[in-house]
Amino acid sequence: MDRRTFLKLAGIGSLSFAAGCSDPEKTIYSLVKAPDDMVTGQAKWYATTCRECPAGCGVLVKNREGRVIKIEGNPLHPINKGKVCIRGQAALQGVYNPGRLKSPILKTENGLQNISFSDAENLLSEKFSIAKISGSGRIKMMTEVVSRPLYQIFDHIMTTYGADAPTVFEPFAYESLKTANEMVFGIDGLFSYKMEQSDFLISFGADFLDTWLSPVEYTIKFKEMHGVRNGKKGRFVHISPSQTLTAANADTWIPCNIDDETIVALGLIREMIVWGKGETLDKSLLGNLQSIADPYTIQKVSEQTGISERLISGISESLVKSRHPLVLGSGNSFNGERSLETCIASNLLNLLLNPDLSQLDFNERYRVETAARRSEIYNFFNEVSEDKTNLLLLNNVNPVFTLPKQSGVQKALKNKSVFVVCFSNFMDETSAKADMVIPVAMPLESWDVYESTSKVITTLQPAMKPLYGDPQIGDLLIRSSFKDVTETEFYKTEVIRSLVKKGSISTELQWLNMVRNGGLYNVPENKASFSKKLSKKIFDVLLLDRKETTIPLSLAIMPSVRFFDGRGANRPWLSEIPDPLTKVVWQAPVLMHPETVKRNNLKHGDMTAIETDNGLVEAIVYETAGIKENVLGISMRRDHTIDGQFIEDKEDSIFSLLSANIENLSGGPISHARVISIKKAKSSEPLAHTDGSRLQHDRKIAMAMPFSQYSNSQDHKKTHGGSGLSMHEFPLTLPIPEGYDAHRDIYPSHEHENYRWAMVVDLDRCVGCAACMGACYAENNIGIAGKRQIINGREMSWVRVERYLDPEDNKKVIFLPMMCQHCDAAPCESVCPVYAPHHSKEGLNNQIYNRCIGTRFCSQNCPYKVRRFNWFGWKWPYPLNLQLNPDVTARSKGVMEKCSFCIQRIKEAHTTAKREKRKIKDGEVIPACAQTCPSDVFTFGNLMDPESRVSKLVSDKRAYQVMGYLNTKPAVIYLKKILNEI
């Protein structure tokens, strides 16, 4: 056969193939009965509460055709004011996790067996009856932090069966902070801080942007305090062993050894007394305090901690001069022997500096304060393994993972005479050891009310039907435990009744309004009485003779901004989105100071085996100046497969490196351990990171200016660049026809019709928390590439938060959110052979997926490296695919994609505006990233409208364009970060 014939035949073959294969037939299912509140193709929003951590932020959940597809903050909610963090965004992947259990599981002699929900319920009530027959106190229960009505039900059940009240377990129970509050203010609890009112903030390891108490709330408050306000800018000093996200946002981060915070705090107390603060205080108290703090002179503090004298005296001077200083103690990270002392000293500092304590809101208390101390948790498990317990109920806790090996939890669960029931949606370390696992409806599928704080009662309502028909734990327990006691009832009724009883609501209309608004936000204040009579114990604690034991090297297990205590690790987005500071994905490297790395003959990227007194861990070395020399840090992590499935045969958890020691006075855990040996491991794995470099190489990417320059400079032109063509002289060029300059431009400018969309990104407000990335993944159906592909450089994020270090001082960090710049002279548009990137009449740089042939020229030519190529058809294993946004194409293999400024939201606004025969209003279109950003970094709007917020912001003297000297005329205008020195 010659070539011609072959081509002919091949042509006929493919033609007939094409003719034979039209679209596969599809089915449209009609509903049997149409629900009142569902219009197909239109989203419905339900106000409920995020329960990914105990903070309890109010959220609005978007429901399309019966599936929840997006979470946004509830703007009415006083805690989070319409914003959600990255963990809140990823709550969807908990609901749709492929590892989510579909039915209860019973451990039998023949292995694990799936049983039906009704069988599980019957078995549970049988166990309750047995426990009742065998006598009182045969049941024990441990739960996560739950709402008041749910706790009351648990408690009621336990009392009925003659057992102790349920124990609330939360890995972060803030024992030292609680105890310090009790000792100094007489309040055994956790109250809120009016951080927004302060002008100088010192934090001794309180990571309020990461995990501390209520991160979204404090991010908002912090930016109010730290932003420019009436020509002034608050300052923030963070003192901790490792540079967490919070520390990275401090004006000055001071590294110190674990427990050395106490010395600094005591030194500051001495200084404050010397400066004459605290004169209004009780004389004897002041005298006592003086005698305790007296030895801590600046010289001594400097000697013991290695912090320069100048810095300490600078801080104390600023403290004295500031009008509303605020000092925070931690309680959940770097817990050591002296955490309690640090927290006491912080409280005392507040008392010295602000005798009226106006910035501490004792009336607003966090729900997490109900969590039991670690010592009580250890007791609980010891009791289970020793006494007569028959039935152990664990509600959504994972103690096998979060507690050290010696804690007795393993022994308790192995006890043959105890029947362990886990109410958990996933197979995790604990449920794998349980006798029965009953999945229950997740918070987004349940009715409840939760007290975020004592002032805010927020409601939970099902935003969708439980995915696998799981019962709610309240209903399940009422049914199974009271089967023969009382008439069965619904938990929801119980919730309403408890509200009525409390006097919060009295009519049904009030309840409906409460559900609609997402909660009750004006709960009458319960005036907490606090005494300024300090407990004498304080002085005992502070005078405690500490043996000077210097640990040469200790390993700290740190809370993670992405995974919290490790619980979020099965949400693929959280692993796929890089850690804000290391930019590492899917791995938890060990942070090591360059000195330590050198001393141990290691190098950056080596796999190392670290042995502590209690266990061994293998981790990749991450060399960074963001940690103290004598400390190694690993964030709380769990190992999971790419789709969130639990790996059962994985070695011990990261917490097994710790000892089960507790700090005696507060009953809190110790979160670091002595390192015995550290050596290079045999195995190796490349570091999966997404940053090209930690430095900017003087390319004018993320820029900053000192506060003095910002407040003085009147000259606009100088700050907006000159008129030259060099890197520093290039002027700010807006992507509108006025930006056209015949001397510089090859291409003519684009004419726009009514709108030219643009975004202003304020670097001074960006804390780098990556909530925007989470929102973008959720909104735009971005694929999960996984560790291997990211090592190959194939991450898919449309918006990324870049982290750059100051070349002169590696401890200074600047964050820069980077997404498609929608340039007016877009380099991508001019190189595409098929016109797939296309400039729209509203200035957007459109990527037409079905036109794209995947040459990747555009990505090559894009100076911002924001274009992402689909190397594979990314998988959304069932039921993760149910989360996909039906308004956005799920891109297929071989197609280039990038940020669209959330075009689907722009179109939505167009539809509404057109219908109302008007133009789109400023602020009507809010892209997903801008919507969720807790610190309001992003402003989106129309540059053609001179009255829009973006048009006004671009004339700010801080405005610049990233690599604007390339004359791409980006539509994303950045505002420089303002540096504030101590």
Partner 1 sequence: MDDRRKHRWISFLKIKGSALFWTASCAALAIFLVLFLYVWPEWKMGPEQPISFSHQVHAGVKQINCRFCHSYVDRSQHPGMPPVEKCLYCHKYIIAEHPEIKKEHNYYNTNTPTPWKKVFYLPEHVFFKHQRHIDREIQCQECHGEVEKMDRLKGVNFKMGFCIKCHREKEGTPLGCWLGCHN
DSSP H helices in 561-610: 572-576, 594-599
Phi, psi dihedrals of residue 310, rounded to the nearest 5°:
-60, -40
Among 81, 107, 838, 952, binds partner 1 (CB under 8 A): 838
Q: How far is the CB of 579 from partner 1 (least distance, A)?
A: 31
Q: Using CB under 8 A, which of 889, 913, 924, 982 touches partner 1?
A: 889
Distance of CA 416 to the CA centre of its chain: 39
Q: Which of residues 399-438 bind partner 1 (CB under 8 A)?
A: none
Residue in 80, 454, 904, 931 binding partner 1, rule: CB under 8 A: 904
Q: Which of 915, 918, 946, 947 binds partner 1 (CB under 8 A)?
A: 915
Which of 616, 660, 703, 848 is in the footprint of partner 1 by CB under 8 A?
A: 848
CB-CB contact of 605 with 686 (8 Å):
yes
Contact 771, 851 (CB under 8 A): no
Write each residue from 175 to 204 as x if it is in contact with partner 1 (CB under 8 A), else as -, in one continuous string. Answer: ------------------------------
In the complex with partner 1, the residue whose CB is nearer, 696 or 846, is 846
* Rounded alpha-carbon distances, angstroms, from residue 530 to 66, 213, 320, 635: 49, 21, 25, 36
- Report if residue 4 touches partner 1, rule: CB under 8 A: no
**Under rule CB under 8 A, residue 718 binds partner 1:** no
Q: Is 12 in the site for partner 1 (CB under 8 A)?
A: no
- Counting contacts by CB under 8 A, is residue 247 touching partner 1? no
Dump strand ranges (E) for 735-872.
Answer: 757-762, 800-805, 813-818, 837-839, 845-847, 868-869
109 CB-contact burial (10 Å; exposed 0-12 / middle 13-18 / buried 19+)? exposed
Select the span of 21-29, 482-490, 636-644, 936-944 touching partner 1 (CB under 8 A): 21-29
Under DSSP, is residue 935 helix (H, G, I), strand (E, B) or coil? coil
Q: With the C-alpha atoms ordered 494, 500, 505, 508, is the resulting torsion angle positive or negative?
A: positive
The binder of partner 1 chosen from 3, 23, 529, 550 (CB under 8 A): 23
For 2, counting Cβ atoms within 10 Å of its Cβ (0-12 exposed, 13-18 middle, 19+ buried), the class is exposed
CA atoms within 13 A on the CB side of 505: 21
Of 337 and 842, CB closest to partner 1: 842
Please tell me whether residue 754 binds partner 1 under the rule CB under 8 A. Answer: no
Contacts to partner 1 from residues 42-71, by CB under 8 A: 42
H-state helical runs in 354-449: 374-386, 399-402, 409-414
Closest distance to partner 1 from the beta carbon of 894 (Å):
13
660/888 with CB nearer partner 1: 888
Lookup result for tokens 């049997």: 32
Report in angstroms how near the CB of residue 889 gets to partner 1 at its nearest: 4
Sign of the Cα pseudo-torsion (652, 654, 659, 664, in order): negative
Nearest to partner 1 of 518, 735 (CB atom): 735
Q: Which of 844, 858, 954, 962 binds partner 1 (CB under 8 A)?
A: 844
Run of H or E including 775: helix 771-779
Question: In whole angstroms, how far apart are CA 693 and each of 483, 802, 806?
Answer: 63, 10, 12
Maximum pairwise Cα distance, the chain = 109
Beta bridge partners of 90: none
Q: How far is the CB of 840 from partner 1 (least distance, A)?
A: 4
The only residue of 888, 913, 963, 982 in contact with partner 1, by rule CB under 8 A: 888
Q: Is 504 in the site for partner 1 (CB under 8 A)?
A: no
492 contacts partner 1 (rule: CB under 8 A): no
| 31 vs 130, beta carbon nearer partner 1 | 31
Q: Using the rule CB under 8 A, is 649 a contact of partner 1?
A: no
Separation of alpha carbons 498 and 511, rounded Å: 12
| 29 touches partner 1 by CB under 8 A | yes
Annotate 165-211 with three-state secondary structure.
Answer: CCEECCCCCCHHHHHHHHHHHCCCCCEEECHHHCCEEEEECCCCCCC
Where does this chain touch partner 1 (CB under 8 A) — which range of 411-419, 706-714, 899-907, 954-962?
899-907
Which span sits near partner 1 by CB under 8 A: 25-33, 125-133, 506-514, 863-871? 25-33
The residues in 110-169 that bind partner 1, with binding defined as CB under 8 A, are none
Asked if 840 touches partner 1 (CB under 8 A), the answer is yes
- Tell whether residue 841 is a contact of partner 1 (CB under 8 A): yes
Nearest distance from residue 842's CB to partner 1, in Å? Answer: 7
Residues at the interface with partner 1 (CB under 8 A): 22-23, 25-34, 39-42, 838, 840-842, 844, 846, 848-850, 887-889, 900, 903-904, 906-907, 910-911, 914-915
